[in-house]
Amino acid sequence: MRQSVDKGNDMRIIDDITNFIFPEDIPAQDDTKSSGKSGESIMGEGLEEDKLSALRADVIFIPGGSYPELPERAALLWKAGYAPWIVPSGRYSVTLGRFAGVKSKGEIYRKAYATECEFYTDVLLANGVAPDCIFPEDEAQFTAENARFTRKVLDAKGLYPKKAIICCKGYHARRCLMYYQICFPDTELLIAPAEGKVTRENWYRTDFGRQRVMGELARLGTQFTPELTPEWKAFVEKA
């Protein structure tokens, strides 16, 4: 994991918040590069083989949203052999009550999507993922449900992953990790963030970035309770 952010000045609080909110196991530069031959790819060119082996997983999770960068990165990882299955999750925002619409690359992904899952699936297919390797989940309306309903999808298929990769926005990574850990307590989880406007390098430089990151800190505090998450309540009662 990268530790320090180039701030121009030494301010430990920025580094502390950055390293907490932006966990990262598979940086973008570790992604695959095409070998130039159909159906073939090179896994994380420049990485040592033992590191590549440590990053291979059983499944890739994509929590819901409106940005194609998440399923695009998941497709790159899938094509490289990081994992054989992908679970795109999401109905639409519980607050909005409908799919929010494609937030970037609308000139490429121009269909009328009913759900986040339908949108993600279309992006995955457009980027070369085989249809039978996609396990859609189209009921979740917030992050906790993304994790919870993804677990139900895999349980129904008799799949119990030992290791999984989460493709999410960088600033959403810690909260995704919290919920997926609660729902997959026996699974090692790796974060492969998709780059966006708000990154670990720039979040503190703009009002928009600070609002997103500090909002995540606040949600982690208010949502990390047994009352809001049944799986966490069961864990606490068992402990």
Q: What is the pLDDT of residue 84?
A: 98
Q: What is the pLDDT of residue 228?
A: 74
- The correct answer on CATH 1.10.260.40 for the domain covering 12-25+48-238 is no
Q: What is the pLDDT of residue 117?
A: 98
Distance CA 97, CA 88 (A): 19
Q: What is the pLDDT of residue 7?
A: 52
Tens-level pLDDT at each residue, the chain (239 residues): 555 655 555 689 999 999 999 999 999 866 654 333 333 444 444 456 677 778 999 999 999 999 999 999 999 999 999 999 999 999 998 889 999 999 999 999 999 999 999 999 999 999 999 999 999 999 999 999 999 999 999 999 999 999 999 999 999 999 999 999 999 999 999 999 998 999 999 999 999 999 999 999 999 999 888 777 787 777 777 76
Q: What is the pLDDT of residue 235?
A: 76
pTM: 0.88
Q: What is the pLDDT of residue 152?
A: 97
Q: What is the pLDDT of residue 229?
A: 79
Q: What is the pLDDT of residue 33?
A: 46
Give the residue from 176, 215, 178 showing the smallest Cα distance to 89.
Answer: 176
Distance CA 125, CA 222 (A): 37
Three-state DSSP string of the chain = CCCCCCCCCCCHHHHHHHHHHCCCCCCHHHCCEECCCCCCEECCCCCCHHHHHHHCCCEEEECCCCCCHHHHHHHHHHHHCCCCEEEEECCCCCCCCCCCCCCCCCCCCCCCCCCHHHHHHHHHHHCCCCHHHECCECCCCCHHHHHHHHHHHHHHCCCCCCEEEECCEHHHHHHHHHHHHHHCCCCEEEECCECCCCCCCCHHHCHHHHHHHHHHHHHHHHHCCCCCCHHHHHHHHHC
Q: What is the pLDDT of residue 37?
A: 34
Q: What is the pLDDT of residue 53?
A: 79
Q: What is the pLDDT of residue 2?
A: 58
